[in-house]
Amino acid sequence: MTKALHVLETSVPELVGYTIRGRYIVHHQRRLGFNPLVVTSPFFKGADSQRVDEFDGVRYFRSNHVPRPDKSRGRLMGYWTRMQMVRGYRRFVADLAAREQPTIIHAHSSYTNGLAARYASDKTGIPFVYELRTLWGESAVVEDGWNPNSFRYKAVWRLELDVMRRAHIVVAIARGIRDAIVERGIDPDKVMLVPNGVDTEVFSPRPADAALASSLGLDGCFVVGFIGSLRRLEGLDLLIDAFKTVHQREPRARLLIVGEGPERAKLAQLAADAGLSDVVTLTGLVAHDQILRYYSILDVLAYPRIDARINQTVTPLKPLEAMALGKVCLASDVGGLRELIEDGVTGLLHKPGDVNGLAEKILQLASDRDLRERLARDGQSTVRRDREWSTIAARYEDVYRQAAERAGRVSNRKVVESVG
């Protein structure tokens, strides 16, 4: 039986895209006969001490044994505390690996998890896989205003690449990520693709929740929606701008934005300034167990992501959920979304940043019911065929096998070199 030790930044019970992928991996690995274990980093906010939790029959080892940095004590003290956390984390993962003796150590980005897993692999000789979920430096350029020429940006890339070079196999969750790291010198022969997926047992079509629609004033409306984190990279300001035209030409159109994030106040102000406060609704944070109710009342899901390197390379999870639910997806034509949506077949794409083009696509969908039904049907069948988690999780059998083979070759080469 394959025993995989997953090294994660954060995990359930927190529910965000990162933790949802992790949960699906371990859940479906169990169903396939694997024995997965999870260790979370000391940066996980859901635990404040060392302990063992259990979810769905999987043990989650918490490494929260060093206090988080106190920013009020100054930047240098914060850096020192973080270094202590990382060092303690490495020892914790290595001790856990020595005790549990997994078949494979499977670290999921960021590099802090990779460094801990690499250390544990070096100490125990257990093969090490590093899974790259996103490009952290590129995200910081958009969300935090980092300069691509800055020390911080270059340092993040340097740390990530160092972990990848030392891993026996690197897993990329998108073709864009794979291409980006190969371009930066990672051996393409050690990079394997395991894309995002969706659990179609959970995300299956359901009737519209009439009570919810009525409570939001959406009875009889054509509803375009977004569900997710409200971040700059999502391009939601473009969506609100597009609704100036959309609502003028289709008075029954409404926009429902579900979620929380740093852009929420700005988006609310944009809607108010445009005179769309009665047309655009921002719900704020919604409990995860209520999300399917909100999906049910939407006619179209919009993902107008901006043209940034992070969006050209990384695939989001939400469009797969929407397609599995039989919803129409309308997205900007950036690489990460183009990898999920085939224009005119499983959804519609618009030019990034083109407010008029986005408005016209929304109006086209509002007026053409047959088009909506065809896109929804073909999108759902494609997701069920290619993106079901039970199928995707099975790919890790080959990932782990190849990691073990490469670890064996590396070990043999070191022996030969030491003898020579």
pLDDT in tens, 368-407: 999 999 999 999 999 999 999 989 999 999 999 999 999 9
Residue with tokens 């065809």: 374
Identify the pLDDT of residue 69: 55
pLDDT grade for 316, boundaries at 50, 70 and 90:
very high
pLDDT grade for 66, boundaries at 50, 70 and 90:
low
pLDDT grade for 291, boundaries at 50, 70 and 90:
very high
Identify the pLDDT of residue 16: 80
> Which class is 210-386 in CATH?
alpha beta
Q: pLDDT by residue (tens digit) across 121-137?
A: 999 999 999 999 999 88
Judge whether residue 84 has pLDDT over 90: no
Identify the pLDDT of residue 140: 87
Closest to 229 in 3D by CA, of 272, 270, 258 = 258
Can you tell me the mean pLDDT for 175-203?
96
pTM (whole model) above 0.85: yes
Q: Output the average pLDDT for the chain.
A: 92
The more confident residue out of 97 and 78 is 97
Weakest mean pLDDT among 103-107, 203-207, 315-319, 406-410: 406-410
pLDDT grade for 11, boundaries at 50, 70 and 90:
very high
How far is the C-alpha of 348 from the C-alpha of 342, rounded, in Å?
Answer: 7
pLDDT grade for 327, boundaries at 50, 70 and 90:
very high
Judge whether residue 85 has pLDDT over 90: no
Can you tell me the mean pLDDT for 125-150?
91
How far is the C-alpha of 53 from the C-alpha of 43, rounded, in Å?
Answer: 16
Can you tell me the mean pLDDT for 240-262?
97
Same fold, 3-197+390-419 and 210-386: yes
| Domain spans in the chain, listed from the N-terminal domain onward | 3-197+390-419, 210-386
Judge whether residue 415 has pLDDT over 60: no
Identify the pLDDT of residue 81: 73
Judge whether residue 38 has pLDDT over 50: yes
What CATH number has the domain spanning 3-197+390-419? 3.40.50.2000
Q: pLDDT by residue (tens digit) across 334-374?
A: 999 999 999 999 999 999 999 999 999 999 999 999 999 99
